[in-house]
Amino acid sequence: MKGLTKYVSGISIHNKIFIANLLIIVFFISSQSIFTNNISQKAIIEKAVNDSSRELVLIRNNLQTLLSTIEDYSKILASDYRLQNVLYNDLLLNNDSYAHKPVAGLSNLSMNKILSETISNIVEPNTKIKAVSILTANRQWVDVGFADNEYASRLFGDGDERADRFYLPVWTGLIRFKFRYEGEDNVFAVSKTVVHKDTGKTIGRVFLYVKEDVITSIYEEGKNHKGGQFYILDAEGSIISAKNKDLLYRKFDEAFSIAIPDFGQKDVSFTQTSGSKRMLVSTQRFTPLQWTIVSTIPIDEITLERKKINQLIIGIGAVCLLLALIVSFLLSRSITRPIFRLAKTMREIRTGKMQVRSAYQSRDEIGYLSDGFNNLMDRIEALMAENTEKQKTKAEIEFKLLQSQIKPHFFYNTVETIISLIKLNMGREAITAAQYMAEFYKVSLSNGNDIISIKDEMRLTASYLEIQQLRYVEYMAYTMEIDDEIMTYSIPKLTLQPLVENAIYHGLKMKSEKGFVRIGGRRVGEDVHIEIFDNGVGMREDQIQAMMTKERSGFGFRSVADRIRMLYGERYGPKVESEYDAFTKITIVLPLRRL
């Protein structure tokens, strides 16, 4: 919440007004669009559900008509007097004593002709029945038409004994059946027991074959939505009729990943995802055969009309939004333009243009704010100039104090070193030390100049190091590698000596073995980099942070850093790198300036 408040507070008033109006309009249009969309979608889906239910009822009624027609044909055929005479004669000729003998009656061409004529009246093209098979009371299949009776014998065996008890037509599920001239096809078989009218004896059984395409034709011309499909499922949920024949015999829920709730119990309508599509699924029970008629319609197809409504809403919303943007922009601009001009002035001042002032003049509230801001900036500029002068004076005082500390201290230590060398009968070394001391003071005085050449600063530093090396020969060695290119450029006097002294006293002297100090200098672009490297005890991260903090850093380091930044700016000055118990490297960055 704090982050959001911080972000909002950083937005200009102009944008706040503009965004507020924009959000109000967008919220209103979006709410209206969502509400309208939901209402229209609900109404369209309800309409689709009702239409689908009507279509399913129509299919169920047509299916019932087909069922009744086929069963009526089976009854007509089973009660045909010619068929009954042939089957009854066969029963008499093939009694139990001769059950395993060839059926002489059926082998007779005249009898075969009678059966063919009888059956031909109820098969294609007169009806929707593809073929008929006859099973005699003696369990022999009669070959009198298109049906492959050997295939029927293997498929049905001796018939369904249970059906004989009811004498009603019995439907099989979807099966693969072979026809004599057309090969195998998907069919439904309807069987009916043939009972002799006079004797009441069971004299045979007729099988009528209805192709699955006949069932499909009932709904293939339906008014289902584009992309919608109808399916018929058996009691186990397997697909027994579909336009796509590859789906036959497959479980519906496995084929489409759609589980029908209360399957086989009642009619339902619901939506569910199948693959990448959202589908409207409706079911209708066909009770006589325990079948379920299923309708699937993609939601996208159902809501196609809603898309046109949405396009209209979006168009109107876009026009309203555009008008709102224009009005909001003009209104916020007229209110915030003076504030924006004042803010622009503030941004220019923030970039360093301290002399810039607000030019807006008016007697309104923004005018009073502009005058107050100008007065405030005048006062701030005066205070900054005063503070800069104070800082400059402070830095000069600190530099003089540093010089006053270095010179007597260095002079005293050097004289002590010379006296020690004389006592040790090392006159040559004592003379050398005196010469280096003279060189050090000659350069450090430099006619009162605070800015000297890098060459002179290196002479001063070399004199200091030579004297220190005489005193601490067991602790240190040094090297100086300065590019000749930078020797003529300028550097504040006594920049290196305090840092070299720190390297010796706080780096090398704390080490158990002899170390070295390496001083290097080179040009890097438009800057000069001078490095002071020692392999002393180094510093930990907290020590480096302490030295980089003004309040806790050493006087020499702080004085060097402040002087350089006061003279050249914040991007210049010393930078510290160190690894504990390994090394310390201080890189001094200076601008490329000549004396």
Total of domains in the chain: 4
Pairing outcome for strands 573-579 and 170-179 = unpaired
> What is the pLDDT, as a whole number, of residue 525?
92
Highest mean pLDDT among 427-441, 459-473, 571-585: 571-585
> What is the pLDDT, as a whole number, of residue 402?
52
Out of 326, 344, 362, a domain closes at 344
Q: What is the rounded CA–CA span in Å between residue 148 and residue 155? A: 11
Q: What is the rounded CA–CA span in Å between residue 78 and residue 204? A: 9
> What is the pLDDT, as a whole number, of residue 101?
42
**3-class DSSP state for residue 7?**
helix
What is the number of other CB atoms lying within 10 angstroms of the CB of residue 334? Answer: 10
- Residues 142 and 32 placed together within one structural domain of the fold: no
- Residues 432 and 530 placed together within one structural domain of the fold: yes
Average pLDDT for the chain:
80
Q: Which residues contact 337 (CB under 8 A, 6 or more apart)?
A: 14
- The stretch 279-308 carries a mean pLDDT of 84
DSSP 185-231: EEEEEEEEEEE-TTT--EEEEEEEEEEHHHHHHHHTTS-PPTT-EEE
- Residues 438 and 584 placed together within one structural domain of the fold: yes
> What is the pLDDT, as a whole number, of residue 551?
47
- Residues 265 and 330 placed together within one structural domain of the fold: no
Whether residue 335 contacts residue 17, with contact meaning beta carbons closer than 8 Å, is answered with yes
- Residues 397 and 517 placed together within one structural domain of the fold: yes
- The stretch 408-428 carries a mean pLDDT of 76
Looking at the chain, the whole-number percentage of residues with pLDDT higher than 90 is 20
- Residues 296 and 153 placed together within one structural domain of the fold: no
Q: Which residues contact 204 (CB under 8 A, 6 or more apart)?
A: 83, 87, 90, 91, 134, 135, 136, 137, 193, 194
Q: Which domain holds residue 278?
A: 224-302
Specify if 34 maps to a domain: yes
- Of 88-102, 236-250, 380-394, 570-584, which gets the smallest average pLDDT? 88-102
Q: Which residues contact 516 (CB under 8 A, 6 or more apart)?
A: 476, 477, 478, 479, 508, 534, 535
Specify if 370 maps to a domain: no
Tokens 């309009």 belong to 25
- Residues 560 and 416 placed together within one structural domain of the fold: yes
Highest mean pLDDT among 153-167, 170-184, 307-321, 545-559: 170-184
- Residues 31 and 103 placed together within one structural domain of the fold: no
356-367: pLDDT as tens digits: 777 666 666 667
Specify if 378 maps to a domain: no
Out of 269, 302, 335, a domain closes at 302
- Residues 206 and 244 placed together within one structural domain of the fold: no
- The stretch 452-479 carries a mean pLDDT of 87
- Of 216-230, 443-457, 492-506, which gets the smallest average pLDDT? 216-230
Specify if 359 maps to a domain: no
- Residues 421 and 535 placed together within one structural domain of the fold: yes
CATH number, domain containing residue 405? 3.30.565.10
Would you state the structure tokens that stand for residue 234, as one six-digit string? 């058996």
**107 pLDDT more than 50:** no
> What is the pLDDT, as a whole number, of residue 225?
59
